[in-house]
């Protein structure tokens, strides 16, 4: 099916060649942008297929916009049954938005996405998500001058104005914090609190022999700790199991830590080498020599930056005196293995702008906000 608005043609993405063109479009749009990192085609194709465990609860459709036969924009629309269970049967989402600076293109893309969502009963739209809030989220509105870390989106400066022109308003902002490893420091008062808490809290590495079980422990802590956050959707067992299989090969054991009190898990942290640094010059392909380069860079030569994509403190401890200290102990646990691997800097992301507790902790130990992503909302 095709939608047409003036000189813009909107086409549904259905076949594998069309999905490849959809995935490849941003690389042409961002040509000349030194901060653009092409995603791995293989990984993106799996993301937009039944191999993505999120598709068990997410229905989605993608479109491209064309002018004179050339792709000039793209968008997806999603309906997430888990989101609807929590927030109502009238919710839906948009995502994977990229386009030239042209109001007609944005209008045509959003018309197609909103029409599809409305047909599915949607009256409240949030996003962008790729494909839900537990994957790439937000529209970059500050921080265009640096490349994105792994599993974080990039963007063009005109996106925000074009999205707002379509009637979307701010829902909430997500922040990414940057920290030089050598800047990580704890005040004497924090150090005393951490030493006192060590008597009650055990920080241990993940047990690789029980990796699948350990990942479900992380899932339970995450779902407990994040359940009241804006737009929260729980991870399913299969989603975390698949994520675990990926982390097993990409993240060393001593970069995943679990906090326990009386042998009961109460928090965790994952420090992931910045894969974007390793794939920046591969142009989205692992053939013919991309696999070798990627493995060499991750396992031998190393990368110099990392990202903390997952961290959680159990609900029962979040607002207690001990909760913030558990977070500090988990962050501290990464310092020595990062130093051993010559990882010089890390991104902590993403943090809800409303999460003043975590933001205060990060700023007290030397981290600075350097990117801002916006989640939008609109009532149809």
Query: What pLDDT, on the 0 to 100 scale, is given for residue 250?
Result: 85
- Residues 240, 247: Cα–Cα separation, whole Å: 10
Tell me the average pLDDT across 189-207.
94
Residue from 355, 348, 354 nearest 371 by CA: 348
> Where is average pLDDT lowest: 19-28, 70-79, 296-305?
296-305
Rounded-to-10 torsion of CA 325, 206, 308, 366: 40
- Residues 159, 177: Cα–Cα separation, whole Å: 22
* pLDDT above 70 for 207: yes
- Residues 204, 151: Cα–Cα separation, whole Å: 26
- Residues 172, 187: Cα–Cα separation, whole Å: 31
At residue 268 the predicted structure's pLDDT band, cuts being 50, 70 and 90, is: very high
Q: Provide the CB-side half-sphere exposure for 83 (13 A, CA).
A: 25
- Residues 48, 185: Cα–Cα separation, whole Å: 41
Tell me the average pLDDT across 340-354.
95
DSSP 209: G
Q: How far is CA 357 from the centre of its chain?
A: 21
Tell me the average pLDDT across 140-162.
97
- Residues 325, 304: Cα–Cα separation, whole Å: 27
- Residues 212, 173: Cα–Cα separation, whole Å: 33
Query: What pLDDT, on the 0 to 100 scale, is given for residue 2?
Result: 52
- Residues 226, 232: Cα–Cα separation, whole Å: 7
Spell out the residues 6+ positions from residue 298 whose beta carbon is closer than 8 angstroms to its own: 250, 273, 275, 278
Query: What pLDDT, on the 0 to 100 scale, is given for residue 289?
Result: 66
Please measure the distance between the N-terminal and C-terminal CA atoms of the chain and give it in whole angstroms: 22
Backbone angles phi, psi at 268, to 5 degrees: -160, 165
- Residues 219, 60: Cα–Cα separation, whole Å: 24
Tell me the average pLDDT across 64-84.
97
Query: What pLDDT, on the 0 to 100 scale, is given for residue 292?
Result: 74
Spell out the alpha helix ranges (H) of the chain: 16-29, 41-47, 81-87, 103-119, 159-165, 188-198, 211-226, 237-250, 275-279, 290-296, 315-318, 323-333, 335-340, 356-364
* pLDDT above 80 for 51: yes
Tell me the average pLDDT across 41-46.
94
Q: How far is CA 189 from the centre of its chain?
A: 33
Instruction: Go through the domains of the chain in sequence order and give each one's CATH number.
Output: 2-173 (3.40.630.30), 179-374 (3.40.630.30)
Mean pLDDT of the chain: 93
What is the DSSP annotation of 49-78? STTSGGGGTEEEEEEEEEETTEEEEEEEEE
- Residues 50, 31: Cα–Cα separation, whole Å: 30
> Where is average pLDDT lowest: 23-27, 44-48, 118-122, 241-245?
241-245
94 cis-preceded (ω within 30 degrees of 0): no
**Across the strands, what pairs with 238?**
none
pTM of the model: 0.94
Tell me the average pLDDT across 49-66.
97
Give residue-wise pLDDT tens across range 286-345.
766 667 777 778 776 779 999 999 999 998 888 888 999 999 999 999 999 999 999 999
Query: What pLDDT, on the 0 to 100 scale, is given for residue 285?
Result: 84
Residues across the chain: 380
The secondary structure of the chain in percent helix, strand, coil, rounded to multiples of 5, reads: 40, 30, 30
* pLDDT above 60 for 1: no
Q: Which of the listed ranges 143-157, 275-289, 296-310 does the model predict with the highest average pLDDT? A: 143-157
Our CA angle for 309, 311, 313, nearest 5°, is 165
- Residues 226, 314: Cα–Cα separation, whole Å: 8
* pLDDT above 60 for 3: no
């Amino acid at each position: 099916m095709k939608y047409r608005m003036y000189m813009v043609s909107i086409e549904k993405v259905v076949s594998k060649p069309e999905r490849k063109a959809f995935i490849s479009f941003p690389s042409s749009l961002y040509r000349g942008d030194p901060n653009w990192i092409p995603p791995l085609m293989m990984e993106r194709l799996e993301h937009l297929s039944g191999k993505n465990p999120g598709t068990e609860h997410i229905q989605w459709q993608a479109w491209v916009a064309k002018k004179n036969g050339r792709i000039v924009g793209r968008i997806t629309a999603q309906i997430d049954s888990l989101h609807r269970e929590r927030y109502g049967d009238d919710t839906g989402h948009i995502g994977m938005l990229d386009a030239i600076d042209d109001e007609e293109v944005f209008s045509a893309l959003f018309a197609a996405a909103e029409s599809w969502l409305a047909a599915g009963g949607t009256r409240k739209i949030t996003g962008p998500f790729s494909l839900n809030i537990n994957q790439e989220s937000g529209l970059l509105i500050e921080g265009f001058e640096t490349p994105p870390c792994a599993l974080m989106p990039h963007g063009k400066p005109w996106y925000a104005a074009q999205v707002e022109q379509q009637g979307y308003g701010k829902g909430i902002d997500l922040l990414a914090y940057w920290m030089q490893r050598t800047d990580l420091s704890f005040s004497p008062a924090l150090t005393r609190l951490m030493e006192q808490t060590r008597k009650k809290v055990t920080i241990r590495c993940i047990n690789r022999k029980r990796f699948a079980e350990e990942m479900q422990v992380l899932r339970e802590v995450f779902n407990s700790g994040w359940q009241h956050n804006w737009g929260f959707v729980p991870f399913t067992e299969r989603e975390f199991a698949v994520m675990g299989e990926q982390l097993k090969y990409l993240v060393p054991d001593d970069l995943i830590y679990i906090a326990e009190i009386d042998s009961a898990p109460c928090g965790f942290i994952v420090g992931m080498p910045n894969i974007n640094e390793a794939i920046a010059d591969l142009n989205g392909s692992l053939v013919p020599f991309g696999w070798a380069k990627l493995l060499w860079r991750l396992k031998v030569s190393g990368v110099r930056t990392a990202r903390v994509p997952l961290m959680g403190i159990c609900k029962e401890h979040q607002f207690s005196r001990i909760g913030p200290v558990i977070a500090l102990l988990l962050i501290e646990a990464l310092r020595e293995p990062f130093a051993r691997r010559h990882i010089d800097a890390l991104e902590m992301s993403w943090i809800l702008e409303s999460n003043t507790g975590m933001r205060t902790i990060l700023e007290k130990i030397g981290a600075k906000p350097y990117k801002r992503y916006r989640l939008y909302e609109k009532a149809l």
